[in-house]
Amino acid sequence: MLHIRRAELEELCTKIFMAMGLPAEDARDSAEVLVSADARGIRSHGVAHLERYANGLKAGIIKSNATPVLLHETPCSIVLDAQGGVGLSLAKKAMKTVISKAGQSGMAAASVRNSNHFGIAGYYSEMAARNDMIGISMTNTAALGVPTFAREVAFGTNPIAFAAPALEGRLFSLDMATTTVTRGAVEVCLREGQKIPPFWAVGKDGLATTDPVSLLDDMLFQRGGGLLPLGGSGKSGAGYKGYGLAVMVDILCAIASGGTFGLSGVAGYTFSNKDIFTQFKPEVKSVKKKQMRKLENVLNELNMNSIDILFIDVEGFELNVIKGIDLNEFDIKCICIKAVPFTQQTKELRKLICSKGYKLIANISSDEIYVKIQNNY
């Protein structure tokens, strides 16, 4: 596995975006959003999508120097026409505007139409949460999802993201597609030469498929078949709920903004219309602090049932690999280094990790070392 420092990867992606014709600021913002997906393990929406943006720019579907048009603005809302511009950077700018407006009005919303793929929806909702606000981000996409009991696509993956802040920088973050998986997840299987699980999608015949090649090709040219709604096919898994949520996102993002939806999107690309909302918390500090403390208690209760451990097998492990990893980027409570036998390399690895600011809390046996991340305790 190749490990690259986050800052170096962002710089590389920035240069690539600039080579595609994006202005420097837009290139930096776009690179930051893409790399943030890989940093949290969402390979379906990370730098692997650079080729997709390059193809879109070459085809003229994505406009590198598009200037958004302001269609409507109030003290607590804004509506933009992206003119086919890059969704990554524009969505970030829109959320910054919404956060600023919400700081003055208590609540604000932005709607962006005629845009393109904007990466992970959770990036933008978390922008609000890190400003002590509740953030909601949604987008509709080109048709990729098959309605309940159907065999042809009618709606997009249409993700919904929600984030709320707790104490000391902690937050709750939900980022989910309203289909069982995203197209990006199918692309990951294709890149790794794997079949997709049979409950992800149906083929042109309306039956379950495990072939990522034919599925992606059929979705690209809308020949039939597509991703199942969240909950799967039929009524037994309550797939109609995912179907309903997807349509809700279409209504909020496309119809409300005057944008495109469903089959009116460009096949193979995402002409997405984003509704990005954020709600500012009460100005009374005591009330806001009380709300954040309640959420902190909820998160603590949920975490009581989870184990966040990173296991490292030292056998054959290259010490220079961990030097390229910023462990502070990961929400890991415990690192378990296992090596049999307890070698000099293990001792060096322990020393290296501790030098990064992690504290050794127990040496369970000669072949296990546990260290804790101080930021999470």
Q: 232 near 180, Cβ under 8 Å?
A: yes
Cα–Cα nearest to 319, from 345, 341, 338, 343? 345
Omega cis (within 30) before 341: yes
Q: Which of 3, 45, 72, 117 is the catalytic position?
A: 117
The one-letter amino acid code at 347 reads: K
Is position 72 annotated as part of the catalytic site? no
Q: What is the dihedral of CA 242, 135, 107, 274, to 10 degrees?
A: -60
Distance of alpha carbon 178 from alpha carbon 203, whole angstroms: 19
Q: 154 near 143, Cβ under 8 Å?
A: yes
* Long-range contacts, 72-77 (Cβ 8 Å, 24+): 75/101, 75/104, 75/105, 76/101, 76/102, 76/105, 76/106, 76/107, 76/108, 76/109, 77/101, 77/108, 77/109, 77/110, 77/111
* Centroid of chain to Cα 35: 10
Cα–Cα nearest to 201, from 81, 190, 192? 190
Active-site amino acid positions? 117
